[in-house]
A and B are shown apart, each in its own frame.
Chain A
Amino acid sequence: MLDVYLPIIFAIFLIAFTLYIIRIIKGPSVVDMALAVDCLAFDLAVFIGLLTLYFRTPFLIIGAIALALWAYILDIYIAKYFVRKEVGE
């Protein structure tokens, strides 16, 4: 059942990825791009979880945690730069 149902979900997720990438390329300001990259990274974490179910290998889920934390670090660095005009340590 998963073999039939999950490709439909993959198709919906790929359409959403395309819309996010259009916003990243078009984005009028830097914060718009950062927000779109944020959403894209979180959805990629979900995509990794679904791929784990589809390929039946348990080792793919490890990458999802690091991906979520990476998007958060990107947000915090961009916000810090715009507030103080420096990145800090």
Chain B
Amino acid sequence: MFEIVEWIVFIIGLILVTIGAICDLAGALGLLRFPNFFVRLHAATVGTIGGAVIPLFGVALIAAVSSQIGPFRWAVAGGAIITAILIMIIAPAGSHALAYAAHKAKIVPVEPKVCDLLEEYEKKKMEAKKK
């Protein structure tokens, strides 16, 4: 009974690692092929959340049931889960900070643009400061 549960957890971990590898390849291709920085942010999110968080959960599941690592397998599983949660918190924050800085310093053009509320707000603030 217990061996069957271990096998199921092992297979789920392998599936998560495979999904992560495919997402990582897709994110890398998108980061290379997309035309603009603000479009590339989408591919970067695929590469970090899909390609780093999901396989780390898979690594944690595999390490929790593999008996070859020995008594330290719970340390490996815990470290993998901690790293996954950290990346899940800090990757969107870092991407958002980079996008805000690139928009504010005007180093890359905002190319496919429908409306830019941040630019209008800053223009309004500058005019109010002049008066």
Contact = CB atoms under 8 A, between A and B. Distances in A.
B94 A75 contact: yes
Size bin of chain B's contact surface: 35 or more
Contact of A72 (B20, B44, B90): B90
A24 to B, nearest CB: 10
Contacts, number: 164
A65 B83 CA distance: 5
Majority secondary structure, B binding face: helix
Interface string B41-85: 100100110011001100100110010111011011001101100
A38 B95 contact: yes
A43 B24 contact: yes
Interface in B16-50: 17-18, 20-22, 24-25, 27-29, 31-32, 37, 40-41, 44, 47-48
20 contacts: A20-B31, A22-B32, A31-B37, A31-B107, A35-B98, A36-B31, A39-B51, A42-B91, A43-B24, A43-B52, A45-B83, A49-B56, A49-B59, A58-B72, A58-B73, A61-B75, A72-B90, A75-B97, A79-B97, A82-B101
Given A49-B56, A53-B63, A65-B82, A20 B28 contact: yes
A85 to B, nearest CB: 8
Given A9-B18, A12-B25, A82 B86 contact: no
Nearest to B82: A65
A76 B95 CA distance: 9
Given A19-B32, A35-B98, A62 B91 contact: no
Contacts of A81: 101
A39 B48 CA distance: 6
Contacts of B29: 19
Contact of B44 (A15, A35, A61, A80): A35
A20 to B, nearest CB: 6
